[in-house]
């Protein structure tokens, strides 16, 4: 059709064309699995996984973000063959309780609380658990975060219906998924008002969640660097020479804005694969995509099959 002599393209066609273009730049990690496996040949694969939206679906109540037994089996199979870490904004202990696999590395609070593989006895507390804690760069912020948590519970959760403040130990998450859309701005305003009293805490946003974190140079990308170094690989991407950079092939799978920090590290590094979990085109530094946790499970199973071949 035309309008004033110009061709008018239907909106659906424009959206479809944009989606096709996006998929060309960020192809399915399942569809390109053989190419990805070829790039990893001769290297040691290291797997990094976000939790919410990656291993479990996004749900209204964050306390009900439970992964399926099938997904747990897929993660267990990967961890039996490759070093595997869960990198989440959640509290490390909570993610461990959701996943239930002691043989993994867990980087909670956006990587500010990193623990190595442990065992059932260690997970109950004691010296073994303390020895398995590898990195806590924001430990000095704990009293401040506790104060901010109490203030946010009073000023946000206690005032705005549907708002929920989650204490993730080294960071706080203010969930507004269940808040009336007309009050989303009020949630943000209240959070900012509380944080005026805590200038050493910073505010970022995820998927219907506001994240309160210590204002230090640490994020999921830094956690990825740290874990690679702890495993004996180069954490580079910045020209540092602290190991054989060619030995590792990191694969990072995540769905949120906070995962972009890790995708950027992989892109700068020049080795490995960042995989964004999304049904819709998004600005991302990831090289590949998967549509949902179901496809993540299929991808992990393919990794296991490939390793067994």
**Residues 187/160, Cβ–Cβ less than 8 Å:** yes
Catalytic residues: 50
**Residues 238/224, Cβ–Cβ less than 8 Å:** no
**Residues 252/266, Cβ–Cβ less than 8 Å:** yes
- Put the strands of the sheet holding 164-167 in their side by side order: 164-167, 172-175, 209-214, 201-205
């Amino acid at each position: 059709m035309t309008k004033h002599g110009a061709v008018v393209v239907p909106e659906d066609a424009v959206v479809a064309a944009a989606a096709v273009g996006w998929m060309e730049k960020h192809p399915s990690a399942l569809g390109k699995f053989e190419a990805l496996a070829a790039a990893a040949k001769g290297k040691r694969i290291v797997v990094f996984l976000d939790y919410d939206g990656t291993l479990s679906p996004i749900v209204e109540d964050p306390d009900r973000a439970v992964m399926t037994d099938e997904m747990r089996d897929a993660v267990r199979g990967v961890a039996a063959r490759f070093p595997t870490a869960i990198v989440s904004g959640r509290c490390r202990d909570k993610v461990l309780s959701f996943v239930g696999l002691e043989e993994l590395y867990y980087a909670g609070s956006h990587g500010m609380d990193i623990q190595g593989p442990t065992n059932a006895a260690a997970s109950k507390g004691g010296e073994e658990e303390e020895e398995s804690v590898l990195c806590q760069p924001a430990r000095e912020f704990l009293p401040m975060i506790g104060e901010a948590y109490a203030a946010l519970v009073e000023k946000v959760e206690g005032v705005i219906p549907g708002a929920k403040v989650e204490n993730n130990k080294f960071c706080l998450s203010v969930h507004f998924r269940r808040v009336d859309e007309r009050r989303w701005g009020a949630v943000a305003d209240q959070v900012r008002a509380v944080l005026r009293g805590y200038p050493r805490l910073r505010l970022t946003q995820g998927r219907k969640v506001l994240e309160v974190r210590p204002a230090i140079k640490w994020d999921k990308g830094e956690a990825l660097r740290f874990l690679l170094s702890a495993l004996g690989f180069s954490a580079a991407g910045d020209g540092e020479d602290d190991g054989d950079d060619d030995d590792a092939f990191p694969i990072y799978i995540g769905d949120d804005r906070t995962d972009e920090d890790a995708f950027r590290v992989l892109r700068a590094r020049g080795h490995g694969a960042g995989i964004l979990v999304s049904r819709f085109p998004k600005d991302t530094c990831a090289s590949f995509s998967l549509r949902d946790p179901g496809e993540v499970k299929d991808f992990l199973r393919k990794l296991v099959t490939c390793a067994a071949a």
